[in-house]
A and B are shown apart, each in its own frame.
Chain A
Amino acid sequence: MASLTLDKVRKAFGPVEVLKEINLAIDDGEFLVLVGPSGCGKSTLLNLIAGLETSTDGEIRIGDRVINDVHPKDRNIAMVFQSYALYPNMTVRKNITFGLEIRGVSNEERDKAVADVAKLLQIEPLLDRKPSQLSGGQRQRVAMGRALVRDPDIFLFDEPLSNLDAKLRVDMRTEIKKLHQRLGSTIVYVTHDQIEAMTLASRIAVMKDGILQQFDTPQNIYERPNNMFVAGFIGSPSMNFINATLSEDNGKLAVTIPRGGDPIVLPLFEAPESYHGYVGKDVVFGIRPEALTHKRTGSDEPGSQYVNFDSKVEVIEPTGADTMTVIEIAGKEIVARVRPDRAPTPGESMTFSADMSQISLFDPDTELRI
C-alpha cells in the first residue's frame, strides 16, 4: 500500500488535449473517486496511473517512486475493468492466479492465495467454472479477486459496477466499501455516478473536459462546490440555480430574486468577505432541494437561519420519504423537498422555508463560487 501523487499531469492525443495539468495527491489507504460526465478524461487518467497509456507531461508517483516510465506490470497495481475482462478460456481459479503464475509464484503459494481470496469474496464454489457460466455479480467478484490476490500497492477500478443491475450495484457498492475498510488499501475508482462517488470516497476529484474542477472530501464538495458544474453534478435532485441580485439593506446582505410583482428577498445568514464585492450585482443563487422545504418551526423568530416566502406549487413528485415539490420562480423550475405529510396539492400556494445557512452564490459569468 502506498500514497499516490499526480504532479502537473498532461495528456494529449495529437493536438487534442484530454487532460490539462492534473494535480492530485492521496495518502496511503485513501479511497479516491474520479467522477465526471463521459469524455471528461477520468478513464484516461486511470489508464495513466495504470501505465496503459503514457502521459505527455508531468510526474506520477506511487510512494516516493516516479512511475512514468515503469511498465504496468512493475507498478504493483491491480485493476478491475468495466467489462471485467475475465479470460474466457480459463477457469475462475486460473483467472485469479494468472498474474501470479506469470510472476513465477510457486504452486503452493498460488493455491493458498486463491483460497484466501475466494473465502474473502465468497466465490469458493465457483473456482472451477468458466466465466461464461457465471452471472454478472459473480463475474464482478472474480474480477475483484484477480486484483486482490496480488496484494498491490494501489487498486484501480474502472466503472466496475456500471454493468450490473440497480439492486446488485447497491449491494456491491457496500461490499467494496467494506472491503476497503477491512483491507485499508489505497483505491482509485472511476465512475460517472455521483452517488457512488459520495458513498465510497474519502476524497472526490470532479472532472470535466480534462480539467480538475474540485478535489476535496465528499461533504465539502457537497456543501461548498467550487463552481456551478460541481454544484449541479453532485447531488440528486441537483441544486437549484436562480438568477438574482445581491443587495444591501441596513448593512445586511440579502439575495433578491425578481418575479412578477414583489421580488423575493432572502437575507443572508452569513456573509463572507468575498460577497461584498458583489453588492448590487447579478449573482446566481444556488440552493439544494433539501434546504428548501415547508415552513419550519422557529423560522419567524428574528435571527433565524430560515427565511420564509410564498409560492404557487406547479407539480409534486412523491418519492415516499420526501415529496419533491416543483415551484416556478422567475421563469425557472425550482425543486423543494417537502415532508410527505406537509405536501401541498398542485396549484395551491404555500409557504416555503429556505435554509440560508446552506446556500451557495456563484458569479454568473465565471460560474465560480463567490
Chain B
Amino acid sequence: MADIQTYSHDAGWKHTVLRGLLYLVLILFAAYYLFPLIVMISTSLKSLDEIREGSLISLPRVVTFDAWNYAWNEACVGVECTGIKIYFWNSVKMAIPAVLISTFLGAINGYALTKWRFKGANIVFALLLFGCFIPFQVVLLPMSQVLGKLGLASSTPGLVLVHVVYGLCFTTLFFRNYYVSIPDELVKAATIDGAGFFTIFWRIILPISTPIIVVSVIWQFTQIWNDFLFGASFASGANAPMTVALNNIVNTTTGVKQYNVDMAAALLTGLPTLLVYVLAGKYFVRGLTAGSVKG
C-alpha cells in the first residue's frame, strides 16, 4: 500500500509539471496567433491621434467606432469614396450563388460517379481530381478569353462562373468520397421501388448528405470569399469583390495613412468567414472525417 502511495504521489508531481509545461506551450502558441488579431482590433478602435501618440500594443484609451463607420461608408477605394460596403455586397452576390451552384453540382457529380457508374467514370473522376491541383495562375489567361467571348468579362456573373468551375473539382471530391460509404443497395432498393436518377437524388441521397454539404459550403465560402487573384483579374472597378477593395483602400497612398480605417476594413472583410466557422465549425471537422473510414 505504502509503495503504491509513494509511487502515485511521485507520478502526481510529475504529472502536474508536465501539464504545466503543456499549457505553457499551448498558451504561447495561442498568444502568437491571437496577438496580431488583438492589435488589429485595438488599433481599429483608436482614433488616429491616439495611434500616432501611443505604441502599437497599447489598448485604446477612448474606444471609438469612427474608423469602422468610416471604412464601411466613406473610405476611398481608388478614386471613389463610397466606403467598402458596396464591395461587401459585391462579394455576397458573388460568393452565395457560386457556393450554392458548385456545392449542388458537386453533389450530383459525386452521386453519379458512385451510384450510377458509367463507362469511363474513373477517368472522369481522375480528371476532376487533377483539377484540384491546377494553380490559379495557369488558368488566368484562357479564362479571361472565355469570359470575354461569353460577354461576362468584368462582371459578377463572370466571377461566379470562374469560382463554380474552379470549385467543382473540390466539391465533387468531397461528395464522391462521402457517397462511396453509402451502400449501393439503397439505390437498388429505390430503383425497384420505381424511383429514377433525380428522384433518388432528391428524396434519398440529398437528405442524408447534411454533414458533407456543410463541409462543402464552408470550404467553398472560405475559398471564394478570400480569393483575391480571380477578383482582381476578372472584375474591376465597381464590380470588384471586397478583397480587392480592401487592397485598394490599404494601398491608397494619398494623404495620411489611416491605420485604424485599414484595420477596420480588414476585420470587416474577414468577418463573414469567421462567422461561418464559428457557426458550423464542428460540422466541418465531423464531415471531413465522415467519409474517411471507408474510402
Question: Is A167 an interface residue, CB under 8 A from the partner?
Answer: no
Question: Is B194 an interface residue, CB under 8 A from the partner?
Answer: yes
Question: Is A50 an interface residue, CB under 8 A from the partner?
Answer: yes
Question: Is A269 an interface residue, CB under 8 A from the partner?
Answer: no
The digit string for B170-209, where 1 denotes a CB below 8 A from any CB of A, is 0000000000000101101111111100010001100110
Question: Is A16 an interface residue, CB under 8 A from the partner?
Answer: no
User: Would you call A85 and B188 a contact (CB within 8 A)?
Assistant: yes
Select which of A52, A89, A103, A146 is within 8 A of B194 by beta carbon.
A103
Task: Kindly state the separation between the CA atoms of A79 and B187 in the bound complex, as whole angstroms.
Answer: 12
Select which of A51, A82, A89, A98 is within 8 A of B207 by beta carbon.
A89
Question: In chain A, residues 95-110, which have Cβ atoms closer than 8 Å to a Cβ of chain B?
Answer: 98-99, 102-103
User: Would you call B208 and A98 a contact (CB within 8 A)?
Assistant: no
CB distance from B108 to the nearest CB of A (A): 18
Q: Note all chain B residues with C-beta closer than 8 A to A103.
A: 194
Query: A88-B208, A89-B207 are contacts. A73–B193 as well, Cβ < 8 Å?
Result: yes
User: Would you call A83 and B191 a contact (CB within 8 A)?
Assistant: no
Task: Kindly state the separation between the CA atoms of A90 and B200 in the bound complex, as whole angstroms.
Answer: 13
Question: In chain A, residues 60-109, which have Cβ atoms closer than 8 Å to a Cβ of chain B?
Answer: 72-73, 77-79, 81-83, 85, 87-90, 98-99, 102-103
CB distance from A11 to the nearest CB of B (A): 16
CB distance from A99 to the nearest CB of B (A): 4
User: Would you call A99 and B208 a contact (CB within 8 A)?
Assistant: no
Task: Kindly state the separation between the CA atoms of A98 and B190 in the bound complex, as whole angstroms.
Answer: 8
User: Would you call A89 and B188 a contact (CB within 8 A)?
Assistant: no
User: Would you call A87 and B191 a contact (CB within 8 A)?
Assistant: no
Q: Note all chain A residues with C-beta closer than 8 A to B190.
A: 87, 98
Select which of B183, B192, B204 is within 8 A of A79 by beta carbon.
B192
For chain A, the count of residues having a C-beta within 8 Å of the partner chain is 21
Query: A83-B183, A85-B183 are contacts. A52–B191 as well, Cβ < 8 Å?
Result: yes
Chain A residue at smallest Cβ distance from B185: A85
Chain B residue at smallest Cβ distance from A80: B189
User: Would you call B194 and A99 a contact (CB within 8 A)?
Assistant: yes
CB distance from A280 to the nearest CB of B (A): 55
The digit string for B208-227, where 1 denotes a CB below 8 A from any CB of A, is 10000000000000000000
The residue in B185, B188, B192 that gathers the most chain A C-beta atoms within 10 A of its C-beta is B192
Question: In chain B, residues 92-142, which have Cβ atoms closer than 8 Å to a Cβ of chain A?
Answer: none
CB distance from B249 to the nearest CB of A (A): 47
Query: A85-B183, A85-B189 are contacts. A73–B207 as well, Cβ < 8 Å?
Result: no
Query: A78-B192, A98-B190 are contacts. A89–B185 as well, Cβ < 8 Å?
Result: no
Task: Kindly state the separation between the CA atoms of A78 and B192 in the bound complex, as whole angstroms.
Answer: 7
Q: Note all chain A residues with C-beta closer than 8 A to B199.
A: 102
Q: Note all chain B residues with C-beta closer than 8 A to A51.
A: 192
Q: Note all chain B residues with C-beta closer than 8 A to A81.
A: 185, 188-189
Q: Note all chain B residues with C-beta closer than 8 A to A85.
A: 183, 185-186, 188-189
User: Would you call A87 and B204 a contact (CB within 8 A)?
Assistant: yes
Q: Note all chain A residues with C-beta closer than 8 A to B195.
A: 73, 98, 102
Task: Kindly state the separation between the CA atoms of A87 and B207 in the bound complex, as whole angstroms.
Answer: 10
The digit string for A137-149, where 1 denotes a CB below 8 A from any CB of B, is 0000000001000
Select which of A52, A79, A89, A146 is within 8 A of B208 by beta carbon.
A89
Q: Note all chain A residues with C-beta closer than 8 A to B192.
A: 50-52, 72-73, 77-79, 99
Task: Kindly state the separation between the CA atoms of A67 and B134 in the bound complex, as whole angstroms.
Answer: 48
Q: Note all chain B residues with C-beta closer than 8 A to A88.
A: 208
Q: Note all chain B residues with C-beta closer than 8 A to A99.
A: 192-194
User: Would you call A87 and B188 a contact (CB within 8 A)?
Assistant: no
CB distance from B150 to the nearest CB of A (A): 39
Task: Kindly state the separation between the CA atoms of A78 and B194 in the bound complex, as whole angstroms.
Answer: 10
Chain B residue at smallest Cβ distance from A88: B208
Task: Kindly state the separation between the CA atoms of A99 and B188 in the bound complex, as whole angstroms.
Answer: 12
List the 10 closest pairs (A to B, CB-CB), nearest first. A99-B193, A73-B194, A85-B185, A89-B207, A85-B189, A102-B194, A81-B185, A72-B192, A85-B186, A83-B185
11 extra A-B contacts, CB within 8 A, seeds A99-B193, A146-B189: A52-B188, A73-B195, A79-B192, A81-B185, A82-B185, A83-B185, A87-B204, A88-B208, A98-B195, A99-B192, A103-B194
Listed A/B pairs (22) with beta-carbon separation below 8 Å: A50-B192, A73-B191, A73-B192, A73-B193, A73-B194, A77-B192, A82-B185, A83-B185, A85-B183, A85-B185, A85-B186, A87-B186, A87-B189, A87-B204, A89-B204, A89-B207, A89-B208, A98-B203, A99-B192, A99-B193, A102-B199, A103-B194
B residues neighboring A (CB under 8 Å): 183, 185-186, 188-195, 199, 203-204, 207-208
